[in-house]
Amino acid sequence: MPVGDYVSAIERELSFRFPESDAWSVETLYFGGGTPSRLGGEGVARLLQAVQRRITIEPGAEVTLEANPEDVSLEAARAWRSAGVNRLSLGAQSFDDSVLRWMHRTHDRTAVTAAVESARTAGIDDLSLDLIFALPNEVERDWQADVAAALALEPTHLSLYGLTTEPATPLGRWRDRGLVTEAREDSYEREFLYADRTLAAAGFEHYEVSNFALPGRRARHNSMYWRAKPYVGLGPGAHEFDGATRRWNVDAYVEWAKRLERGVDPIEGEELLDEANRETERVYLGLRTSEGLRLSGAELVRMKEWIDAGWGTIAEGDRLKLTPLGWLRLDSLATDLTVARSRS
């Protein structure tokens, strides 16, 4: 994918989303959903310049770039910082080289350390690390050592994701052939709760089911999603939401670029959320954050079972907040509450 072609395509899509006659400003900007760091220092700078020709980035805005550790050189990091990037999200995944090879990652643990050092030297000190837990039983992985290694780099933010095995993926096929077995539920729970305790002791707030931050360092952009705020998405497969309708672009890069070259909007589909959809999202998004969800009096009575089981607490008199133990049951608890609301 030539950098120039990609930036030109983004510029065309920007003309659809942000007409020149209108004044637009944003509080957060997030380059992700793939490997934007592959654009290099100059490529990301050009992309930011293209965005700023259509959009005003407000003073103090959060500008995040997702990056592969192997893409972060001092030269690239300086170019990103100079262009306006002030937050870096690094896909570390693990600090065990054998685990990284199993994941088919092209970096090793030294690359993560070098990336962090380069970012800090360049002036990007808001650093998030991604880690994956609950690996298959056959993978000999020391989760406690990985958490310790991540903390040793003193990030401001950590995102932890349990590995899921999807059909029609290499891991799914290995599972179907009996080559690997998924992590047991007790292993998933043990590793999740260990991270919660350890990161809390290190001063991190567990503010969303998968995310931990030092005070004042929560991901502002992602928090907009969890609060159902409007956002715009650009690029192949990008999603956007205006507060009522969700839209998504065509997935394939070639088709996305061809449509834009022909002057055709690359939107592939849209969904107008009805009240039932919106209520489902309100419940799910509310329960997945540490802010929780406001309940009615009848619902508070119903929650006694959850509180007794250690799945949640009541704060401010009427706000349900799930505990880490409750977050492990997020899908089923959100469904239970949504169904109960639909019947009331």
CATH at residue 214: 3.30.750.200
* 35 and 170, same domain (yes or no): yes
Question: Do 180 and 46 fall within a single domain?
Answer: yes
The verdict on residue 231 lying in a domain is no
Of the candidates 198, 226, 254, which is a domain's last residue? 226
Provide Rg for the chain, Cα atoms: 21
Point out the domain boundary residue: 186, 201, 226.
Answer: 226
Can you give the pLDDT at residue 182?
A: 57
For residues 206 and 294, membership in a common domain is answered with no
321 & 176 share domain: no
Total domain count, the chain:
2
- Domain holding 74, by residue range, is 19-226
What's the whole-model pTM score? Answer: 0.91
- Asked which of 194, 226, 258 is the last residue of a domain, the reply is 226
Contacts within 8 Å (CB) and 24+ apart, 178-182: 179/138, 180/136, 180/137, 180/138, 180/139, 181/136, 181/137, 181/138, 182/136, 182/137
* Domain contains 55: yes
Q: What is the pLDDT of residues 215-228, one digit of tens each?
A: 999 999 999 999 98
Do 172 and 305 lie in a common domain?
no
> What residues in the chain have per-residue pLDDT under 70?
1, 21-22, 165-185
pLDDT for the residue 176: 42
